[in-house]
Each structure stands twice: as C-alpha cells, then as structure tokens.
Chain A
Amino acid sequence: MKLTNAQIAWRAAQDIEDGAYVNLGIGFPEMVAQFQPSGRAAIFHTENGILNFGEAPAAGDEDWDLINAGKKAVTLKPGAAFFHHADSFAMVRGGHLDVAILGAYEVAETGDLANWSTGPKGVPAVGGAMDLVHGAKRVAVITDHVTKDGKPKLVKRCSLPLTGVGCVTRIYTSLAVIDIVNSRFVLREKLPTLSLDELQALTGAELLVEGEIINLNVPEI
C-alpha cells in the first residue's frame, strides 16, 4: 500500500500556512494547490511573472497571455500582480517565498536535489529548477518513495546531475514524511501499515528516529 500522487499532494498542502507565498514546480507539484485546507489561502507565484493566480479557466476561455510556468492557461484571483522576469526571480532567490514544492529524481540525505536531468542524452533543459531551490524559506520535495524499478529515490549521494546542493528541507513521499536535519534523514511520519524496517529497506540512507513517529493518515481522494 502506498499513497497516490493526489494523497502525497494533499499531505504537503496541510503544511502550507494561510497567506504563505508558494511556488509549485511544474507537473505533479501543481496538484498541491487543489488541497489547501479550508480557511487557508496561499498566494501562488509563477516564474513567468504572476502572483496570486488561480485555477485553469473553462475550456474555450483560455487567454494565452495568461499562463503559468508550465505554459498552461490560468486565471487571476483578486489581488494578483504581474511583473517581469528579473523581479520574479528576485522573489525566488531573495528569500521572499515561504515555500517551494518540487518534484525529484533523487534526494540525498545532505539535502542535495537532482530533478532536472537524467544524464547527457538528448536536449538538456533546466528552466527555473536551479533557481527555485535557493531562497524559499522551505524547499520541500514530493515524490514516490522509490523509482518505477523499485530503487530508492532517497539516497546517500545523488548519482544524477544536481539541481542544487544542501537545499531540501522536507520530503513527502508515497510512504513517509522525512525532514533533512544536519545532513541526515529524520523520519517524522510513516504509513501505519509499514514497519520501520520495511521503510528502511526502501530507503538508500539511514533513517533517524527522534521521538515519536506519527502515523501518516491521508484521506481517500
């Protein structure tokens, strides 16, 4: 048993405070916006120059000058703002975002992240990945706990090209919630159906336990 992508996104959304400025990476992390707890409203930032954008418009209502970094059509919420790219990345690198939530190929216990390249084949493309890992007060990763072949994605050292060094602070996986503290994985929550030994066997570096491990309980979505 493991969490679905929607359930991982739900869990990550529970940690976003009301009024937080948040950047969600392209693709899977965008799902986090759907699961904000009621009574909380985060302000979402997109690299191409919008603060406080909302969900996609109805089909046929798209305005292609109003898109997010994934080049999908979006809408505006009251209080939105437009700005140019240098201001946008000043918000990123300048420490103004509260949270960035990104996908990952690998995360090392040192907080190193690999999420932009699977190696030298094909056309390389980086976009804003290397900028987003710097500056946000919390840089969180959401990911399956293991690869499609069952290999650990949480490792001692990344084997793929790095996006950033020592940048990740928390990882939400399909099995657990893990913090990175002093270059070690610290287990905070795990699925109650899984033993610590079973989880450790699926993890490429040692999981430290400090105090109680909370049951990772996520609703059916």
Chain B
Amino acid sequence: MDKTVADLADAIAVVEDGATVMIGGFGGAGAPIELIHALIDRFRATGSPGRLTVINNNAGNGRIGIAAMIDEGMVAKMVCSFPRSSDPRAFTEKYLAGEIELELVPQGTLAERIRAGGAGIPAFYTPTSYGTELAAGKPVAEFEGRSYVQERWLKADVALIKAELADRHGNLTYRKAARNFSPLMAMAARTTVVQAHAIVEPGAIDPEQVVTPGIFVDRVVEVGDAAQEEALIRQEYA
C-alpha cells in the first residue's frame, strides 16, 4: 500500500467544481497553505474548481490561503465559526457585497458536526446555542430537565489537511496545536488529502503515536519546507 502522490497538483486533482472542501487549521496553525495554493494555481489556469463550499474555523486572513481562494472567486459558501481575523478584508468585502454565503456555526458544534459526519452519526443534541438566534428552526428536546438543540452531521467531498509525519499507509502525526480540526476532517471527507512535513516508511511512526489512522487518509504529498500562514502574514505586515 502506498498513498503518496508525486506532487501538489496531483494531490488536489480530486477537487471538482461545486465540491464541499474541509480545510484544516485554526488561524495559521495547521493551515495547508501549499495544498490551497495548488488549488488556486489550478483555478487560475483552468477556471476550475469553482463554486466551492469551504469548511474551516475561520474565513481566511490577509491575502493568502483561504483568503486568496475567496479573492479569486472560487468560494461560493463558507461554513465557519469566526469569519474575522487580523485582516479579514477578503471575506468581509465579498460577504457585504452579497457574493459569498455564510453558515455561522458555534466552534464546538462545528467540531462535533464534523466528527459526527466522520462517525456515521446523522444528528446529535447539544446545549450549545439553545435559546439563541443560531438555534432558529432547529428541533429542540429536553433531556434530564435541560433543553438541547439538534444539530446535523457535516461531511465533505475532500479534506485538505497538514500533518507533521505521514507514513505511506497514511498514518499521521501533527505538530503542537496545528492538530485542531484535522483529525476530525480526515474522518468526515470522502477523500482526504494530506500535505506532510515528511513521509516515512510504515513502521517508522510508533503506533502509540499515531493520531489519525491511515484508514481516514487517501492521498499524501510531502512538503518539507511548508509555509506557516501566521508567519507569512506577520512578515507581510511587518
């Protein structure tokens, strides 16, 4: 078994027009910048993939990563908890112009909806958002005297995530807080595409250290000198 692919262009070739794409990362930590920019390069060259629904905690920062996808006009809808950042212009301009749709989801609900999507659980109840405008139209039920809101699973066609180590079977480790949503997204997407700092032989990652088992991973590409989104943005504004 070997899930490695030759290059970034090959890795992201599975993303089609109109796809729902989960993108790992919280702020800059875990953002798969090289996979995102390979997608943007393909869009610039071919006009595809467009009309994407992108699922991430945020909606981009500065003029790189998800913000650059939005600037290019590739994104029809964002599903996120916090579409603000130190420089949220890309999303804000499109949103206020009515050119991008927003589904705002509380952060923990977003994580659990993705986990549920990956775990085959179509809906669940959570106390989060009960009695608020974000619960409008959702079924409510009482359990042990408290009220809970029904939320539905989130699934995707493709997940783009960044790992520290990957082996050829797709077993993954992450670096520090760059883990965030990625193990959940890897479960919830039909095809999970990973950029890893290094690809190693099966057995080189101690099974006790595997965070995402390879069953959730489909394509792995090595990006040894990956950019860190936050560091790039800080350089740009320094």
Contact = CB atoms under 8 A, between A and B. Distances in A.
Majority secondary structure, B binding face? mixed
Given A67-B27, A84-B211, A89-B108, 11 more contacts: A48-B26, A64-B230, A65-B175, A84-B111, A85-B26, A86-B114, A88-B111, A122-B96, A126-B107, A128-B81, A130-B106
Nearest to B27: A71
Contacts of A187: none
Interface residues of A, number: 38
A164 to B, nearest CB: 7
What secondary structure prevails in chain A residues at the interface with B?
loop
A64 B28 contact: yes
B136 to A, nearest CB: 11
Contacts of A41: none
B197 to A, nearest CB: 11
Given A131-B128, A134-B128, A123 B84 contact: yes
B82 A127 contact: yes
A175 B107 CA distance: 33
A123 B81 contact: no
Given A67-B230, A93-B108, A49 B177 contact: yes
A103 interface: no
Contact of A65 (B30, B82, B108, B110): B30
12 contacts: A65-B177, A65-B178, A71-B230, A84-B111, A84-B184, A84-B211, A85-B26, A124-B104, A127-B106, A130-B129, A131-B108, A161-B133
Contacts of B109: 130-131
B88 A123 contact: yes
Interface size class of chain B, counting residues whose CB lies under 8 Å from the partner chain: 35 or more
A49 to B, nearest CB: 5
A50 B29 CA distance: 13
A165 interface: yes
B43 interface: no
A162 interface: yes
A55 interface: no
B91 to A, nearest CB: 7
Nearest to B107: A128
A123 B91 contact: yes
Contacts of B228: 64-65
Interface string B63-95: 000000000000000000111111010011001
B42 to A, nearest CB: 27
Interface in B108-139: 108-112, 114-115, 126-134
B150 interface: no
B230 A84 contact: no
A50 B228 CA distance: 19
B153 interface: no
Contact of B176 (A82, A125, A135): A82
Contacts of A92: 108
B177 A66 contact: yes
B107 A93 contact: no
A93 B177 contact: no
Nearest to B30: A65
A125 B84 contact: yes
Contacts of A134: 127-128
Interface string A184-216: 000000000000000000000000000000000
Contacts of A127: 81-82, 106-107
Nearest to A131: B108
Interface in B160-195: 174-184
